[in-house]
């Protein structure tokens, strides 16, 4: 009996380590999927060094809002997809991501605000503090990206693979400071609207990409940005998932106090 119990413990421990690694791998994939579109759009209209700053802040903040409430993220994704798709159908060829992004953000704001009012047990009330922590963490970590794009501007896959785990650790450390102090700054419906705006905005932009933006009617600058994005995005998602998977397994294996992205 004693030997059976001792064999069960390592087995469950191994599964826990694997599970934590998979959770962090999802975090990395989400980070890459948010970082690169913002990077390409910013790089297409502004100077190069601004792109990694805005992309790092946006990806960290967007992930933080998803972590604030996975249920809200699912609802915004559902209604956002329907609303933005309808907008794209009615509008025809949309050459700029601004319209779909604004529509998605507006839908997200409404869904998030209602969610914050109705769902009393959600952690969405922490969204204000988590957003503050995410913006600060993303801004600090973006220094790495600024240096990187001047040294190796065409190696974005490895940049995202580095920034995803570093941003995650910085964000979680800062939530220990900001959440206890500032989680009650805004009412829940405003917290929900904040989360919904970011999630819905990303959904709107993503649908713009998937709606056939690479058409002859698209201005050449956006077409080039779209081609760069689609070329690097699969590899970046895979690389960021791999580095965050390793990070999550190390955290679980050595019981490191880095926090958890879903707590």
pLDDT at 238: 96
Stated length of the chain: 263
pLDDT band at 193 (very low <50, low <70, confident <90, very high): very high
Model pLDDT, residue 127: 87
The model carries a pTM of: 0.84
Please check the confidence at residue 144 and state whether its pLDDT lies above 90.
yes
> What is the per-residue pLDDT across 41-82, written as a single tens digit (0 to 9) for each?
888 778 888 999 999 999 999 888 887 778 898 999 999 999
Split at pLDDT 50, 70, 90, the class of 171 is: very high
Cβ(236)–Cβ(32) below 8 Å: yes
Q: How large is the average pLDDT for residues 121-129?
A: 81
**pLDDT classification of 219: cutoffs 50, 70, 90:** low
123-127, 196-200, 217-221 — which is least confidently predicted? 217-221
What is the domain partition of the chain in residue ranges? 2-254
| Separation of alpha carbons 105 and 63, rounded Å | 15
Rounded average pLDDT over 95-115: 90
CB 164 within 8 A of CB 214: no
pLDDT at 247 over 80: yes
Over residues 99-103, the mean pLDDT reads: 90
User: Who contacts 44 (Cβ-Cβ below 8 Å, separation ≥6)?
Assistant: 221, 222, 224, 225
């Amino acid at each position: 009996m004693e030997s059976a119990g001792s064999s069960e413990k390592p087995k469950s421990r191994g599964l826990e380590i694997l599970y934590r690694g998979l959770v962090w791998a999802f975090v990395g994939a989400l980070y890459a999927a948010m970082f690169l579109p913002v990077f390409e759009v910013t790089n297409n209209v502004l100077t190069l060094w601004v792109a990694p700053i805005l992309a790092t802040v946006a990806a960290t903040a967007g992930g933080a809002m998803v972590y604030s409430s996975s249920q809200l993220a699912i609802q915004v994704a559902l209604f956002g997809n329907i609303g933005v798709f309808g907008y794209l159908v009615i509008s025809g060829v949309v050459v700029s991501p601004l319209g779909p992004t604004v529509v998605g953000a507006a839908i997200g704001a409404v869904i998030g605000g209602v969610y914050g009012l109705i769902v009393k047990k959600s952690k969405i009330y922490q969204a204000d503090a988590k957003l503050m922590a995410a913006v600060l963490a993303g801004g600090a970590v973006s220094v790495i990206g600024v240096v990187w794009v001047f040294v190796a501007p065409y190696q974005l896959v490895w940049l995202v693979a580095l920034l995803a785990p570093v941003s995650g650790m910085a964000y979680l450390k800062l939530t220990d400071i900001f959440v206890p102090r500032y989680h009650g700054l805004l009412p829940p419906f405003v917290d929900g609207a904040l989360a919904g705006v970011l999630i819905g905005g990303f959904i709107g932009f993503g649908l713009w990409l998937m709606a056939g933006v690479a058409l002859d009617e698209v201005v050449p600058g956006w077409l080039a940005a779209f081609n760069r994005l689609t070329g690097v995005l699969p590899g970046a998602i895979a690389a960021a998932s791999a580095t965050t998977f390793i990070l999550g397994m190390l955290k679980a294996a050595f019981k490191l106090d880095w926090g958890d992205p879903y707590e």
